[in-house]
Amino acid sequence: MARHFNAPVSGVRRRQPGYVLNPAGVPRGAVISSVNGKPVATMAEFRDIIAALPHGARAALRYSTLDDPRVPRLE
């Protein structure tokens, strides 16, 4: 998909709605590039960082959307 927008591929793409990312306002199709300042390039890295968080903890996510890939957002 990023190829059609001429955008570099880096990060984890959010595909389906979920219980955690919906309330945070992360839209479907967003590409998450970091969690709490730690870069994520693969789903395994994302999963490991999230799994290390204490139950109920908040995390800062940096992401961009393919509609506007040059404007990263922090939620």
CATH number at 55 reads 2.30.42.10
For residue 13, the SS3 value is strand
pLDDT of residue 25: 83
Residue 17 belongs to a domain? yes
Domain extent for 36: 2-67
pLDDT of residue 1: 47
pLDDT of residue 7: 55
**Residue-by-residue pLDDT tens, the chain, 75 positions:** 455 555 556 777 777 766 778 887 888 888 889 999 999 999 899 999 999 999 989 889 898 887 765 555 555
CA gap 21, 19 in Å, rounded: 6
Number of domains in the chain: 1
pTM: 0.71
